[in-house]
Structure 1
């Protein structure tokens, strides 16, 4: 046994001595070097590059420009600062204007470096207000660490930064400050990957862009913009699409004038010039959630720093641009209780287990969400969500209805609309639909609680494998399923076909069968379902949409 142990140590040492590594890589800006280390799996290694600039430090309210390059070898071993943004409580700022960097994970075998691997580019969420390419960080455990996806799926993972908040999405609605700078940053990052990823062992013609929440909507915008023609092969939108009610600001001038007033700029033809000269941190704070809309308005109605139809990156309404994604394979889905995060803020009694949620709170919420269509819309919507109740609804029925209303309105129904839209115009592009329903791990939530907003992220990024003590085996199961589906899809355009085994065959979506897969740790033959919340999808997309706008 001792001899066997010595032989194993010798083999491991030999393996590490001959570990495949890219070493320094030549990019268009110059040479970059990263880290190489062993990962789980027999003789598996990972090349990691953190903080590679994909554009020059951005000018204020300007599109990104090419990076001028550097001399020598750039050490790409540390994450760079996030783009300048408000903190989570919206009272201070953090980050920097010089922020257009990306990170790359390249899986390697023992002897030969990887070649022609599929590439997955991650776009983070955060309401277009906050976020970072490395994600939340606790004890150097970064949420958007691409190692588990790259290693388990044998793909290259890239995470990129983009401007958010005022600096990323303020628009005067004219040529002064057209807006969409965050979307242009994403585009610049994707284009950089397309031009440079071959040097890292990637297939420049097989790029999948994936993201969650505002990142999911961003993926949708990137797929349908004519600016990305030929750059993207596939897309995955998790809990966010371009058709979400918060994804497009159709009255940007109003908010630009509000920001201008708060930073003491005029609101006439000198507004744009003044805003461009204003201190960046002052501008960023002026675009916080606390600076606009009535305090009683639902949170979703305060998310107004978002993309605009600028006649350039987005030349038309998003619904009219899906034809640009006709040849792109697309996975679209949502979490079954995506709206819970927002509902808990809008209706505080929701998360107080010992207190009932008054029926009036539900009616008030419905009225606020349907305000533009008037009282009739609120009455019809309330009728839809209470149609199964008896004369005296239970405490749980009312609370669940609050969550369902916000989930449907903010996330689920728009994702379904995008599915139908993509499928109706697709030529060679395939469409796949999913619902993520793994019960929340939050011990404070009620027993009926499903998957809250952003709870899918830990599973997509393999946290149950990276930090096993924090999870149960069932969580590793669902994480393995998601990584397998996502990376198979990146390889082949079919989540079932690739190197990774999946628990159930996921059928493509079409308008005859309306099939989707329900993702959780109990996956089996009953996980393929049909007509996701069709009654409520029909209400919002047909009945509600056909009502006249009053406000």
Structure 2
């Protein structure tokens, strides 16, 4: 009798497993079928890999609708990422046929319906990156499974063109640029039109991203092209106001690339580039990733979005009214700038080698060059104010990291939060700083969270690879997934299906409240005025200094 009960129980479970899957899904392009696997008792996951959301794009053209397919598309394998340089910039990887997306749909005892949808936009400096398969060895960083399962949301990752093919611009109508942003938009629009068939709520789409993906998220909610498509957004370490997010002189870079591939720089430049070998074009867009205190790396990130009069009709700072009804979370890692500083000033990571005070002066002179010597002097006075007569080696090194973190990430993010809150009609605004110390060996003892170190926690890696983490890392991963998915569900990170460790208050232009995210979140983690002295310096004091250009007029 006991054996019969076991057999019946197994049969019931197997029956549930076959029921709790979408099976074949009808989309606008045709039918697709993914895979389904069990996660635990009465929990399953449907995964669709490599679903096309647009046709293979024409060179330097906006994406076009996919023509569709016959029969059932087996969406079981990741497609290639978009054509791009390798990390060494000596070769290329990927394909021009790359406008695909991946979907994770959590299932319970019955097929899910009306779930919140989270669309992820990857980072990589607009130069590299992808959400199609392993990012390092066999580790797939951007798997949406943990977020989808723990937060009961649908997760989508999209491909978009990067590098020369995604962001080269002639500065005129012959090559307006922003092709990568148009790809992202096409992916979001496809999700809005089709996600209901996968069990999602098309009227509750959250876009989220990190670094260049975070700036892209900001661009997407500021563009009038996305009106009615996006309900909420999360920017992790990047906004449209970041100094690397907009190229103000795209023609100069386009001409440099044209010369490298043997094209003219006159009115025939874009027709020539359109028929040039795509691999040669991509390699020609390699960037100089060797910085120095006098020429910081941030100034070399030139393949970026442009104000094209179309997708971005104006400077991003003037477009926040378009996000007046879109809930927004934005934040930074507390040492986001370290990844840049380590290349600009290598001595900061060498414990026995001091970093001279003159390096701070040189770096600030470079970052304030538009204001001349007055800008450099005022910035130096601000950042060395607490040094005393004999600052320690660690104090000087940490100051260098703080300067680049403020300039490249933190201050622009705070400015974006102010603009979002001030332009809000129904939208809520939330600010955070992520401060879990880096797990990378060999960094200084004072090191905080470096750029991109939040991603492993958002995507639940402490749960999927538990031997590589301590319990405290699983705590912070659980916190972030709870806040992020609650926000996607309700627009309030505190309210939803997941319990959170402390209430996260909204950011307002008078309250300036933010949440510090680390391994021990409690009521003391709610803080006010994130580095307000330095935010005020860059946004007000420095901004009011006359620029060299205006002084010369």
Provide the TM-score with structure 1 as the length reference: 0.97
Matched residue, 2:247: 249
Tell me the SS of whatever aligns to 1:16.
helix
Matches within 5 A, 1:64-463: 64-110=63-109, 112-134=110-132, 136-290=134-288, 297-463=295-461
Aligned-pair CA distance for 1:14: 3.3
| Worse-superposed segment, 379-388 or 222-231 | 379-388
Preserved CA contact (<8 Å) 1:90 1:290: no
Tell me the SS of whatever aligns to 2:399.
helix
Tell me the SS of whatever aligns to 2:207.
strand
Tell me the SS of whatever aligns to 2:13.
helix
Residues 73-123 of structure 1, C-alpha deviations (whole Å, 9 max, x = no match): 10111111010001111111111000000000000012x100000000000
- 2: CA distance, partners of 1:172 / 1:310: 10
Aligned-pair CA distance for 1:540: 0.7
Preserved CA contact (<8 Å) 1:134 1:145: no
- 2: CA distance, partners of 1:477 / 1:450: 18
- 1: CA distance, partners of 2:377 / 2:8: 74
Aligned-pair CA distance for 1:17: 3.5
- 1: CA distance, partners of 2:11 / 2:43: 13
Preserved CA contact (<8 Å) 1:208 1:234: yes
Residues 178-236 of structure 1, C-alpha deviations (whole Å, 9 max, x = no match): 00000000000000000000000000000000000000000000001000000000000
Tell me the SS of whatever aligns to 1:137.
coil
CA gap of 1:306–1:139, structure 2 versus 1, over 3 A, is: closer
Tell me the SS of whatever aligns to 2:240.
coil
Matched residue, 2:12: 14
Aligned-pair CA distance for 1:7: 6.0
* Structure 2, unaligned runs of 5 or more: none
Preserved CA contact (<8 Å) 2:290 2:343: no
Aligned-pair CA distance for 1:11: 3.4
Preserved CA contact (<8 Å) 1:122 1:159: yes
Matched, 1:50 2:58: no
- 1: CA distance, partners of 2:71 / 2:478: 40
- 1: CA distance, partners of 2:449 / 2:162: 26
Tell me the SS of whatever aligns to 1:491.
helix
Aligned-pair CA distance for 1:261: 1.0
Aligned-pair CA distance for 1:135: 6.4
| Worse-superposed segment, 16-25 or 179-188 | 16-25
Aligned-pair CA distance for 1:13: 5.6
| Worse-superposed segment, 121-130 or 445-454 | 445-454
CA gap of 1:12–1:362, structure 2 versus 1, over 3 A, is: farther
Aligned-pair CA distance for 1:505: 0.1
- 2: CA distance, partners of 1:8 / 1:503: 40
- 2: CA distance, partners of 1:318 / 1:453: 23
* Structure 1, unaligned runs of 5 or more: none
- 2: CA distance, partners of 1:174 / 1:411: 29
- 2: CA distance, partners of 1:297 / 1:259: 21
Tell me the SS of whatever aligns to 2:239.
coil
Tell me the SS of whatever aligns to 1:79.
coil
| Worse-superposed segment, 536-545 or 47-56 | 536-545
Aligned-pair CA distance for 1:548: 2.3
- 2: CA distance, partners of 1:446 / 1:539: 27
Preserved CA contact (<8 Å) 1:117 1:201: yes
Aligned-pair CA distance for 1:42: 2.5
Matched residue, 2:31: 31
CA gap of 1:293–1:358, structure 2 versus 1, over 3 A, is: closer
Preserved CA contact (<8 Å) 1:134 1:143: no
The number of residues matched between the two structures is 547
